[in-house]
């Protein structure tokens, strides 16, 4: 008897399809968009994207990267007519780039900010935001608002020719694809420093290294955050510890899902790296020193450092 062949009409249930696809890497999802229309719609759905981020969005390995500078990067000319960009921040696989940082802006200057997805090679240029003549661009931040499932960019600038030190703060919303001006209490108490190294995005906020004056006119290191859900600025005090005093560098980072600060002290023969973590976000008393790492430096590195220091001193001496 000839064996009958049956062509199966079995269809995988939709919830199982979503579960399987949510566990695949981004590059595979990009290929599978062309398999069928329903998959393309699913992969582009905001609920599915959130589900995928739950699988791939967290990193608990505890790795720290130091020495990866975010300025002066060169990008493909096919993607940008001005390929030199500054990395503002990165979250959920998206990277925010700007062609300017900490500079004076004339009224007709264009501030070009892009959000790109390196995995899909998609790039979006933000609409132009308002700035007046001789505004000083103090800081730019990038982050994700979970409350409204919205990616936002914040821009802080000051009027150079104004008698007041009031800041102008504008917030871009990807949901609205537009900027809006917001009022804040008094961010002029802080000086925002660009994040040349480190990562400012954490817990729904962007963080800058900051400086402020105490009542005795002493300059104090601090951390300034912008909360994207509430669109407010907050200050996070650093540990009252000698590690953060004097001529030391600190960088904002994340370690084992904790908001962290990497303190770097350079010596003649050894570099000392100290990792401080905030066990309860926003609570200064919860800072603890997690790691201390000593890294010997080679003779070549020590020689290069002396040359660099002498050049900086000579340059500063020649500044009028």
At residue 317, the pLDDT reads: 33
pLDDT in tens, 182-211: 987 655 556 777 655 556 889 999 999 888
Token code pair at residue 312 = 């900086």
Pick from 209, 232, 255: which residue ends a domain?
232
Q: Identify whether 256 is part of a domain.
A: yes
Pick from 203, 232, 261: which residue ends a domain?
232
Same domain, 228 and 242: no
pLDDT in tens, 276-312: 999 999 999 999 999 999 988 776 665 555 444 433 3
Token code pair at residue 204 = 């729904």
Q: Which helix (H) or strand (E) holds 138?
A: strand 135-145
At residue 5, the pLDDT reads: 53
Same domain, 52 and 143: no
Same domain, 136 and 76: yes
Pick from 5, 27, 56: which residue ends a domain?
56
pLDDT in tens, 110-120: 889 999 988 77
β strands within the chain, DSSP E: 73-74, 84-91, 94-98, 103-105, 113-117, 122-125, 135-145, 150-159, 167-173, 178-182, 190-193, 201-202, 205-213, 219-227, 232-236, 249-255, 258-266, 270-278, 287-296
In the chain, count H helices and then E strands. 5, 19
Q: Which residues pair with 236 in a beta bridge?
A: 223
At residue 66, the pLDDT reads: 46
Same domain, 111 and 181: yes
Q: Identify whether 2 is part of a domain.
A: no
Q: Which helix (H) or strand (E) holds 39?
A: helix 37-43
At residue 195, the pLDDT reads: 57
Same domain, 176 and 273: no
At residue 137, the pLDDT reads: 82
At residue 103, the pLDDT reads: 80
Same domain, 274 and 184: no
Same domain, 160 and 212: yes
Q: Identify whether 6 is part of a domain.
A: no
Give the angle subtended at the CA of 77 by the CAs of 74 and 83, to the nearest 5°. 40
At residue 253, the pLDDT reads: 86
Same domain, 306 and 161: no
At residue 312, the pLDDT reads: 34
Q: Identify whether 63 is part of a domain.
A: no
Q: Report the CATH number at residue 191.
A: 2.40.128
Q: Identify whether 222 is part of a domain.
A: yes
Q: Identify whether 4 is part of a domain.
A: no
Q: Which residues of 127-152 are buried (b: 16+ CB within 10 A; e: fewer)?
A: eebebeeebbbbbbbbbbbeeeebbb
Q: Identify whether 203 is part of a domain.
A: yes
**Owning domain of residue 22:** 14-56
At residue 184, the pLDDT reads: 75
Q: Kindly give the parts of the chain with pLDDT less than 70.
A: 1-10, 56-84, 133, 160-166, 185-190, 194-199, 299-320
Same domain, 91 and 75: yes
Same domain, 276 and 163: no
At residue 220, the pLDDT reads: 84
Count: domains in the chain = 3
Same domain, 92 and 151: yes
CB-CB neighbours of 17 under 10 Å: 14
At residue 199, the pLDDT reads: 64
Torsion angle of alpha carbons 151, 124, 206, 64, nearest 10°? Answer: 110
At residue 158, the pLDDT reads: 80
Token code pair at residue 237 = 């005090």
Same domain, 81 and 45: no
């Amino acid at each position: 008897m000839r064996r009958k062949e049956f062509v199966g009409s079995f269809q995988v249930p939709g919830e199982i399809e979503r579960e399987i696809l949510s566990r695949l890497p981004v590059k595979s999802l990009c290929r599978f968009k062309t398999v069928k229309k329903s998959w393309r719609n699913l992969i582009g759905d905001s609920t599915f994207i959130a589900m995928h981020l739950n699988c791939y969005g967290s990193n608990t390995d505890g790795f720290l990267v130091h020495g990866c500078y975010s300025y002066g990067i060169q990008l493909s000319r096919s993607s940008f007519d001005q390929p030199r960009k500054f990395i503002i921040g990165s979250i959920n696989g998206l990277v925010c780039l700007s062609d300017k940082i900490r500079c004076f802006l004339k009224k007709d200057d264009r501030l070009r900010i892009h959000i790109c997805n390196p995995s899909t090679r998609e790039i979006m240029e933000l609409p132009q935001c308002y700035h007046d003549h001789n505004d000083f661009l103090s800081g730019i931040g990038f982050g994700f608002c979970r409350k409204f499932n919205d990616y936002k960019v914040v821009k802080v600038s000051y009027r150079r020719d104004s008698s007041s030190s009031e800041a102008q703060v504008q917030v871009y919303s990807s949901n609205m694809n537009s900027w809006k001006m917001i009022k804040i209490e008094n961010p002029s108490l802080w000086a925002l420093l660009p994040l040349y190294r480190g990562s400012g995005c954490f817990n729904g906020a962007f963080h800058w290294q900051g400086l402020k004056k105490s009542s005795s006119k002493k300059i104090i290191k601090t951390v300034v955050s912008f909360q994207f859900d509430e669109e407010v600025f907050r200050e996070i005090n650093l540990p009252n510890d000698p590690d953060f005093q004097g001529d030391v560098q600190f960088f904002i980072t994340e370690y084992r899902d904790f908001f962290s600060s990497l303190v770097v002290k350079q010596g003649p023969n050894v570099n000392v790296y100290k990792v401080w973590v905030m066990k309860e976000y926003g609570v200064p008393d919860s800072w603890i020193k997690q790691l201390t790492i000593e890294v010997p430096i080679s003779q070549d590195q020590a020689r290069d450092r002396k040359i660099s220091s002498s050049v900086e001193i000579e340059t500063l001496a020649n500044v009028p």
